[in-house]
Structure 1
Amino acid sequence: MENDPSNFSDVSGQLADNKFGCPCCGSRLKWKHNGSIEVEFDAAANAIPRAAGTMFIDPHAHMISRSTNDYEAMARAGVVAVIEPSFWLGQPRTNLGSYLDYLSTILGFEKFRAGQFGIRHYCCIGLNPKEANNESLAEAVLDALPAFAVKEGVVALGELGYDEQTAQEDKCLRIQIDLAIELDLPIMIHTPHRDKHRGTLRTMDVLAEHGFNPGRCVIDHNTEDTVRDVLDRGYFAAFSIYPHTKMGNERLTEIVRAYGPECIIVDSACDWGVSDPLAVPKTAALMAQRGIASEAIRKVTYDNALAVYGLSGAMQETDWTNPELVDQRNLFQGNSVLRGGQAPRIETPQRGSSELRIS
């Protein structure tokens, strides 16, 4: 629909070739006519921004389904860290082994792959509600989850919640809430696509029954219909910015204007469907253009995600402000992100500990 406010591409033409200050450091963000975003940094030195550059966290991104081009674009736009929640594959898993291999991949190779492009990668582990209704598979996955939930880089259990809001989904949600309490981990909640308001209220009621601290829980996929209830109960309210659908950049900007930034989080939820891995930096630039204060933009695109997922102890700012240097000659179990004849990217320290140069 023309001028649909939920579609950022409809306003990108208004922003083309405009420049906006980065919400965290003042670096310049520039829009191109094709709707893409550039971060202006020292092109002569080809420095990758870290502490002195544009920084965003995308706290909900299914990167296993994205390309290396996406990682490169996200890094150029200032995304320094991503969190990958457990997700479904687009078709049902048929056995426990396929689930365990998936969890091992997002904990292992995907973390390595992100690091090869200068992005820190974390995970949420869980049985997603869409697959909870396969009772025998769900029971097997739930038995295996504790061993995965304590692995390095796990910042929460998630995505948890409801899909069709069945009794089986409810059972699996409750078991995983208790596991999060036992392991002292935050929780990421998936709110249902259908009957969202009722499902969101029901989820928060269940969390309250189990005594889960709202300040350790992110309720995701919010809309205008749910945000007030979520914030009033003390939860972090996350918003997935999708093209042409339930929440767009302009609507999110007005939500921040109306409710303030204190417990609001922006994410892309990019996956194998129509989605945008640059949704977080694009939303930040639009909010700047629409007059949202830089401090508020930083909270919703960086600080709030770090605050809640940092409670896990597995995620801290020094992970990317003082990172390991990228060296694409490295392998993961014999595998490289490069193909024959491609030159590896190799970083060496230059001009101080917080600035990197590609050699």
Structure 2
Amino acid sequence: MMFIDPHVHMISRTTDDYEAMRRGGVVAVIEPAFWIGQPRTNVGSMLDYFSMIVGWERFRARQFGIQHYCTIGLNAKEANNEELAEKTMDLLPRYAAKEGVVAIGEIGYDDMTDLEEHYFHEQLELAKKMDMLVLIHTPHRNKKQGTIRSMDLCEEHGLDPGKVIVDHNNEETVEDVLDRGYWTAFTIYPGTKMGNERMVEIVKQYGTERIFIDSAADWGRSDPLGVPKTAKLMLQRGISEEQVKKVCYQNALDAYKQSGQFNEEDWLERPKIDQRETFSGNSVLRGGRDPFVEEEEPSKDDLIIE
């Protein structure tokens, strides 16, 4: 079974994670623009970050057999730094138009401040102007209120709910988001968002229409194998393979292929891995390791890098 992880912050993960994800069946990932764990001090940091997730990280993933895409946006936490936010907004149209960018995001609320709402409005309008999908980050606190307000803002801007992904849902928000026609994503990040045991029960109760999962693995204690592990648990708990495929692959594909940038052929017909390749003169190899070059007719374990 193939899997998509449609929300994972791979710049904070290692090459071992890419190898483990590929062995676990992950064929494609989407990296939403987010904060780096500490406040950025100037817009140059944001520019370099955007450049990295549309450039080097896209290359690095391909060196391990995974197709990498991203979303571009000003995240809610940094929207509260008005000087940084204003300058970042000037960068967004340029980077949102890059190859492999599938949405404006992740945007939304953190503490639900006036500045967060101001830049949320601006980015929704940008998405409308550029005819792009939107990825919404729902807040950790006041989640139900923030989720409902996020959908209200999308509708104020005339956005089609079918082109908006509302992420980090839980039992408190799922029904509202589904009832209003939005894509309803769940993050398997136990302790702060959603555990896979709870996710099994949500699928049993609500089915699989417009529901999918991700790991949101980042620099914190998180698991980039959240999607395949949850798929395995679903199968063990009696959820059919067809339903598991929808939640762990097909629905994310159907949502993001609307961008015109996210295409199944990219990973079904991907180029062979050749770690002799470089990006701006740099490679994924360190310490004199021999490059892995994939055979023309790969075996079952061809993607396990020795």
TM > 0.5: yes
Question: Are 2:237 and 1:281 equivalent residues in the alignment?
Answer: no
- Residue 250 of structure 1: SS of its match in structure 2? helix
TM-score (normalised: structure 2): 0.97
Whole-angstrom distance in 1 between the partners of 2:205 and 2:183: 16
Matches within 5 A, 1:28-107: 54-107=1-54
Q: 1:355 to 1:341 in 2, by over 3 A?
A: same
- Structure showing greater Rg: 1
Higher helix share: 2
Deviations 1:310-330 (A, max 9, x none): 111001000000001100010
Q: What count of residue pairs does the alignment treat as equivalent?
A: 304
Verify: 1:325 aligned to 2:278, yes or no.
Answer: no
Please say if residues 243 and 274 of structure 1, whose CA atoms lie closer than 8 Å, have aligned partners that are also in contact: no
- Which amino acid counterpart does residue 82 of structure 1 have in structure 2? V
Give the aligned residue type for 2:203.
Answer: V
1:179, 1:334 → 2: CA distance?
Answer: 35
The residue aligned with 2:205 is 258
CA spacing shift, 1:194–1:324, aligned 2, 3 Å: same
Counterparts of residues 134-173 of structure 1 (less than 5 Å): 134-173=81-120
Aligned to 1:29: none
2:187 matched to which residue of 1? 240
Q: Percent identity?
A: 61
Q: Pick from 340, 343, 349: which aligns with 2:296?
A: 349
Shift of 1:355: 8.2
Offset of 1:178 from its aligned partner?
1.0
> What's the CA shift for 1:341?
2.1
- Runs of 4+ in structure 1 off by over 4 angstroms are 354-359
Contact 1:349 1:356 in 2 (8 A): no
Partner of 2:141 in structure 1? 194
Please point out which of 162, 168, 171 is paired with 1:221.
168
Q: Which residue of 2 aligns with 1:179?
A: 126
Task: Report the AA paired with residue 284 of structure 1.
Answer: A
In structure 1, what is the Cα distance between the partners aligned to 2:168 and 2:192?
Answer: 11
Return the alpha-carbon distance in structure 2 between the equivalents of residues 103 and 69 of structure 1: 23
**CA shift for structure 1 position 242:** 1.1
So what's the TM-score if we normalise by structure 1? Answer: 0.83
One-letter amino acid of the counterpart of residue 254, structure 2: A
Instruction: Tell me how large the CA RMSD over aligned residues is.
Output: 1.5
**Equivalent residue of 2:232, what SS?**
helix
1:122 to 62, 69, 74: 69
2:286 aligns with one of 329, 339, 349? 339
Which ranges of structure 2 fall in alignment gaps of 5 or more residues?
none
Is the contact made by 1:349 and 1:355 (CA closer than 8 Å) also made in structure 2?
no
Runs of 5+ unmatched residues, structure 1 = 1-53
1:343 to partner: Cα distance: 1.4
- Residue pair 1:350, 1:357 contacting (<8 A) in 2 also: no
